[in-house]
Every structure is written in C-alpha cells, then in structure tokens.
Amino acid sequence: MKNTIYLSAFAAVLGTAAAAESVAPSCSDYTTDKAGWSCFCEANAAPGSVWGSGPYTADSNVCTAARHAGVIGPEGGMVSLKTVEGQASYTGSEANGVTTRDWGSFAQSIAFPPPAATSELAKCSRFPSGTESHSCFCPADASRQRDVWGSGPYTGDSDICAAAFHAGAVGEAGGDVTVLRVPGLKTYTASEAGGVATSDWGGYDFSIVFNQN
C-alpha cells in the first residue's frame, strides 16, 4: 500500500514537471523585445551558431549558448536569460564541449544571470557598533541606490551592500561579505563602479573596507 502511495506521489511530481516544461516556451522563440525571458531547451538539442563568450550576440542560438555558459547540460532544461547592451566585439572560446566564434560589433547581447547566492548569514545593513569585524549577506536584489560615501575605504555609516557592489566584493548574484572597521579619513572621494555612484564626504570617525582574501 505504501509503495502504491509513493509511486502515485512520484508520478504526480513527474507529471507536474512535465506540464511545466510543456507550457514553457521553446528557447528558439526567444525575442530581444523583452528584457528578460525564461524558456526550455530540449535534451540533446541540435547545436547552433554562437558568437562570443558571455555575453553572446543576440542572434546566437540560446540553447547552445546556455551549454557553453554551463547553465544546462546535454539533458537540457529551463534557462533564464536577459537582453543586455551590445558589444563592440565578441571573442569566441571553448567551454563545456561547445566552441563559439568571434564577431565584431552587434546591437544587442544575451546573457545568463548567475543563480542568486544564498546564505545563513543575516542580511547586511549598516556596520554595527562595538565590533571590529562583521560578516553578513548581500542578496542579488539589494539596492545599489543607498547612501555610500567614499570609494574604499567608505564612511562607517555607508550602506554595506551598496558599498560591496561598488568595491566588487560581491558580483551580480550577491553573496557573503566580511567588513572590517579601519581608521577614519579626513575626506572621502566619490566615484562610480559596479552600478553604484558614491558621494563625497568630509571627515568621519571610522571607515569600512571589505576583506576579499
């Protein structure tokens, strides 16, 4: 009786997965009219032409590019991709059994966002008082528009995640950071990096930097 129940439940799960795949659009239908897109690649899909090494030209074969990027294997599966700005040139390479080609300028590109990082650490906010080191987590969707002063070191009251994206301490997927308390500066100079524009400031009693070892 138990085996019958388990088999029925397993069949239901497989049926749900198969239904999800059946309604998912084929990656061959990808359109750069959308900023983001999820689609399905069949197992052992016929290879197509791909230019670049990530990002790829927007007319590249999505499933073959996904194989090259390591997003899927020969078994296929769901992929998520986004349309990004075109590049002046694209360099081919070999990865995961796929060889891509060089190309010149192209108006639009496609890219595969990395999976969002997860962590057991608490989400970062501001550097806590009474400590010399603080570890926390920056999610991929953390705001990059929060207040940050300086260009590394940053003022001690700067938003940690916005500063982490600016410093390159985390990438697009987010991740864990370790923040260190260091002496304050007389002035902090603004700059722009990692999609974050920081601000100038005068003196502050302590600074923060990221341990990237």
Q: What is the CATH number of the domain that holds 193?
A: 2.170.130.20
| Domain tally, the chain | 2
Q: How far apart are CA 115 and CA 142, in angstroms?
A: 15
Range of the domain at 163: 133-210
Q: How far apart are CA 20 and CA 54, in angstroms?
A: 27
Q: How far apart are CA 192 and CA 91, in angstroms?
A: 27
pLDDT at 66: 93
Residue 18, in any domain of the structure: no
Residue 127, in any domain of the structure: no
Q: How far apart are CA 149 and CA 159, in angstroms?
A: 9
Q: How far apart are CA 147 and CA 143, in angstroms?
A: 10
pLDDT at 3: 40
The per-residue pLDDT string of the chain (213 residues; one tens digit each, 9 = 90 and over) reads 434 433 344 344 344 344 444 467 888 877 778 788 889 999 988 899 999 998 999 999 999 999 999 889 999 999 989 999 999 999 999 999 999 999 999 999 999 887 777 888 999 999 999 999 999 999 988 888 899 999 999 999 999 999 999 999 998 888 999 999 999 999 999 999 988 999 999 999 999 999 976
How many angstroms from the chain centroid is the CA of residue 113?
Answer: 5
pLDDT at 25: 85
Q: How far apart are CA 71 and CA 65, in angstroms?
A: 9
